[in-house]
Every structure is written in structure tokens, then in C-alpha cells.
Amino acid sequence: MAHIKTSDSKTASLRVYEQVRNQISVGAHKVGDRLTEGALAEQFGVSRTPVREALQRLASEGFVEVLPHAGALVKGWSQGDVREVFDIRAHLESMAAGLAARRATAEDVAVLQSYCDTMKQLSQMPTRDVPKISEQNRAFHAEILRIAGNRRMADIALNLMDLGFLVRSFTKFDQGNILRSSSDHQNLVEAIRHGDERWAEAIMRSHILAAASIFTGTAEDDAQARMALRPVGTTPPK
Amino acid sequence: MAHIKTSDSKTASLRVYEQVRNQISVGAHKVGDRLTEGALAEQFGVSRTPVREALQRLASEGFVEVLPHAGALVKGWSQGDVREVFDIRAHLESMAAGLAARRATAEDVAVLQSYCDTMKQLSQMPTRDVPKISEQNRAFHAEILRIAGNRRMADIALNLMDLGFLVRSFTKFDQGNILRSSSDHQNLVEAIRHGDERWAEAIMRSHILAAASIFTGTAEDDAQARMALRPVGTTPPK
DNA sequence: ACTTGACTAATTGTATACGATCAATAGGTT
DNA sequence: AACCTATTGATCGTATACAATTAGTCAAGT
């Protein structure tokens, strides 16, 4: 049996990559699960080759860790990992906010304002649609990175941001946190509108470090994450 | 013709990756060259599969760009690209230097000092062994990143540093630049030895921005690089 | 001269097969 | 029991074959 014709024009590698990535981020694969090439190939109805490529990409982006002959492990996050990622983001994105403040055009500011407004609306609705808020949040940050004009930096920062979704503790974002975050965004728009680099940098820094403290302060639910995690820092390539 | 048994224990993918990477960095493949999977496979006596993996890794690291059906292009560098990379490095590595100043043990400082001494010796020899100096330089920076204790950041920064070898304008490092660089390193060791975060950060920042100006200031040799250049209005050093 | 369109050769994308390698397990020895 | 060693089964690393896609070419039409 050969071809169930997939009207999907993308390559199989990409489809598998996106699917697995999504499965991980919604928790379908828990931390420490072993993803073997054969199993995934069967699940998606493709051969091992595209699965391999997908896993390698996921590994290079930090979502999984491939062990030589033991399957790919879904990576867990220690508090140290969270701290690492948010530290880097705090530096890179505050730099980006500063650049954005210097470079933003009127249209850029308008776009930012619109993202900000949408998020404000969402955050005030009684039922918090956390995934949607999260999406708007990502778009807002991505837009600032775009305006900053350093493509490489944007790629790095966005990847780090997406990695954060591995820690799917959306519940940690209570109403108060969301409102504060939304307010931070509005301040960022103002700082950028006025071209105030220092202010923009400072807001972004505190904005991200605040998010970091939410995670590191209350990281309780993944006991399994910590268990599955080998004492960090030691990737043992022989 | 099947297997020439290579006593090399590494995987073929890795060997191909390293070889191609090296070939690019020493200029055996010029900017814009098309590397096809088949040709590389034949050249290295392996099948296309490991070549594919090597190329994908090289692409994810920015050394080449894979075009869907036209082979992998060896990437060139515009002045904008150089500016981007050094901007990011300036932020990440100054952050690392600050962390290192806070965390370094006596042994750490000793190691740094030894790298620094070696480099000082090399830089004072009449015949500049630029590759060796470059290697020591990399080791020095890598050590600071290691001491900083943020492995992710170290990975990112090292990759950016290695990317710099694509711009193989070693000749641009004249005696003066090398001596200044060596002196920067000694100052960095002092700052870290005294646990002076701010000082370490500042030195690293200026150290890297100085290197950036060497590249951007005299990037003349790639005509196509200039063509790809956009009047990117980023950070005019005042 | 310039565009258009079909054709061809080259290249990648994917499937499959097989051997190599390693983790896990069982069994024997001290 | 604790330790070592041989076996085994699962999993990967690589080679090879084939299908799908597209870049490049060239001739015909405007």
C-alpha cells in the first residue's frame, strides 16, 4: 500500500516536525517519554527518514534529546533550565526593545498597539482564554523583534520563547499576572512610541524577569520533570 | 563498491559535517558555491543520507542555505550580517562575563590566566600564527562562557563565534589589533579575579564591539556581500 | 528582442533493507 | 548477595532504490 494522497503540500519531514512539536507542547508526550523513530513513523504513516529529520530538528531546538540507541527523550525542565532561558531572553529582548524604540515607524507602533489592545480585551474577559492570550503575547514579542531588525536575534529569541511552552503551566497565569503583563505591554508601546530606548529596555527586562519568577517561584507540578532530568550540564558525548 | 572500513569511530554524518564545515571555513568552498548531496556523497565516499543530515545541521547553524531543489548554497556575509552577529555576541558575552565574575573560582581564574598568557606569548612573536591565536582566543571566550554557567547561552554564543570564521579575513588582524585584543583579555581576567561584574561586562562589550568594527570597517573584499547589504541603520558606534 | 510554454536533466524527498551498535536481561562465578 | 559476562532484542546508522519536484534550456510565438 503506497500513497494515501495527502493534499498537504508540505514535506513529510515538516509535517512530522510540526505535529510532534505540537504534541509535546500540549502534553501528549510527557517528559521522559521515549519517542522512537519506528513508532513515530508508524503513527504518522511515513517512513523513518522524515521522522529522523524531524527529531534532529527538534533536538537542535531543544525540545528533545536524542540518545544514541535509546530513542529520543522528551526533555524536562529544571528550575535551572527555566532560569537559563529567561536570563537569555531578558538580555536579548531588552536589547531588541531598545533597538525597536530607535527604529520603529508610526505604522510599527500602530501594529504593536493593536496587538496590545487585543490582549487587553482578552485579559479582561471573565473567562481567560489562556491559549489565545498566549498567542497574542507571542505575536507582540515577535513584532518587537521584527522591528528591531536583527533577524538572527529574532530567531534565537523566538525559539527560546517557544521552548517555554514546554512548561505548560498556563494555570500559573492568574488574572493578576495577566493584567500586569498586559500593562507592561502597553508601557512598552509607549516607550517605543516615544523612542525612549532606555525605558523600553528596562520595561522589557522587568517584564521577562517577572515572567521568570512566576515559573521558578512555583514550579511544582513537574516533579516528574525534575526526576526525568539528569543532573544538568552534562551532555555526555564521548 | 561498498564499505571502505574507516577505523574512525564517529558517525559518517558527523565526519561529513565537520569536513564540510572545515572546507567552508578555509575557503575551499566559496560563497555561492552549490553543494549538492550527490557530489558530496561521492567526494566523501558515503551515501546521501549522512550528507543530508550534515547539510541540514550546517543550515541550522547558518553556514549554508538549502534551496529546495537547487543544492545547498554556501552563505555569504553582508556587513549587516556581521553587525547582527557581533551585536548579539556583545550582549550575550558581556552578560556571560558578568556572571563569570560573580561565579569564578580560583581555579577558573587560573585557567583563564593560562589561556591569556599563551595568547600573549603568541601575539608577541614576530611571525603571527593567526590560526593558533584564533584558536586560543576561542578557548578563552569559551572558558568564560563555561564559567558563567548558562549552558544554553554558551552554545548560542559559541555558534555565533564559529560563524565568524566564515569571514576569513584573518589578515585584518594586524599586530596592533592582536595586541589590543590580548590586553583586553588580561583586563578581563583581572576583572573576573576581583569579582567586578560591571567591569567585566564593560570590557567584554568593548572587546567584542572593537572586533566588530575591524570587520565592518574594512569589509571590502566581497562585492556580492556589499550588494546584499541593506543600509541597515543599526547602532552607529559613536 | 522579449515572453511563453513545454521538455529534459538534475536534484531533492521518501521508502525500504540490512548490518552495526548498544541497553537490557539472564545466568553463572566469587 | 554482588559482580561479571554472554546473549538477545530493540534501535539506530547507512546504503540503495525510486518517486516527486523543479531549475534550466530552448524553441515557438508575439
What confidence tens digit (pLDDT) does each residue in B157-206 have?
Answer: 999 999 987 776 655 677 888 899 999 999 999 999 999 999 999 999 99
CB contact under 8 A, B152 and A232: no
CB contact under 8 A, B150 and A87: yes
Q: Is A67 helix (H, G, I), strand (E, B) or coil?
A: strand
Q: How many residues does chain A have?
A: 238
Say what the pLDDT of residue A127 is.
79
CB contact under 8 A, A150 and B56: no
The DSSP call for residue B46 is S
Q: What are phi and psi of B35, to 5 degrees?
A: -100, 110
**Mean of pLDDT values over A197-205:** 97
Number of alpha carbons in the 13 Å side-chain half-sphere of residue B193? 11
H or E element that contains B74:
strand B71-74
- Asked if residue A234 has pLDDT above 80, the reply is no
Q: How far apart are CA B119 and CA B117, in angstroms?
A: 5
Say what the pLDDT of residue B164 is.
83
**Mean of pLDDT values over A56-63:** 94
Q: What is the CA radius of gyration of chain B?
A: 20
Q: Burial level of B201, CB count in 10 A (0-12/13-18/19+)? A: buried
A10: amino acid identity, one letter: K
Q: What angle do CA A89, A91, A95 make, to 5 degrees?
A: 110
For testing contact with chain B, the best of A88, A147, A160 (most B CBs within 10 A): A88
B89 CA: distance to closest CA in chain A (Å): 10
Using alpha carbons, select from B197, B86, B217, B229 the residue that is nearest to residue A95.
B86
B225 CA: distance to closest CA in chain A (Å): 17
Grid cell for residue B114: 593560562
Q: How far apart are CA B140 and CA B119, in angstroms?
A: 9
Cross-chain CB nearest to A56 (options B53, B81, B153)? B53
Q: Is B64 helix (H, G, I), strand (E, B) or coil?
A: strand
Q: Which band of pLDDT confidence, cut at 50, 70 and 90, is reported for residue A230?
A: very low
Q: What angle do CA A21, A127, A109 make, to 5 degrees?
A: 70
CB contact under 8 A, A91 and B92: yes
Contacts of A187 (CB under 8 A, 6+ apart): A203
Q: Left if phi > 0, otherwise alpha if psi is -120 to 50, otherwise beta: which for A195?
A: left
Q: Burial level of B86, CB count in 10 A (0-12/13-18/19+)? A: buried
What domains are there in chain A, each with its CATH number? Answer: 12-75 (1.10.10.10), 79-217 (1.20.120.530)
pLDDT in tens, A76-124: 888 899 999 999 999 999 999 999 999 999 999 999 999 999 999 998 8
Say what the pLDDT of residue A168 is.
64
Give yes or no for B102 touching A (CB within 8 A).
no
Say what the pLDDT of residue B33 is.
87
Q: How far apart are CA A230 and CA A80, in angstroms?
A: 12
Residue with the three cell numbers 553582508: B78
Residue with the three cell numbers 570597517: B217
Each residue's pLDDT, cut to its tens digit, for chain B (238 residues) gives: 333 344 456 789 999 999 999 999 888 888 888 999 999 999 999 999 999 999 999 999 999 999 888 889 999 888 899 999 999 999 999 999 999 999 999 999 999 999 999 999 998 887 778 888 889 999 999 999 999 999 999 999 999 999 987 776 655 677 888 899 999 999 999 999 999 999 999 999 999 999 998 888 654 444 333 333 222 222 233 2
With both helix axes pointing from N to C terminus, report the angle between A12-25 and A48-60 in degrees, rounded to the nearest 10: 50
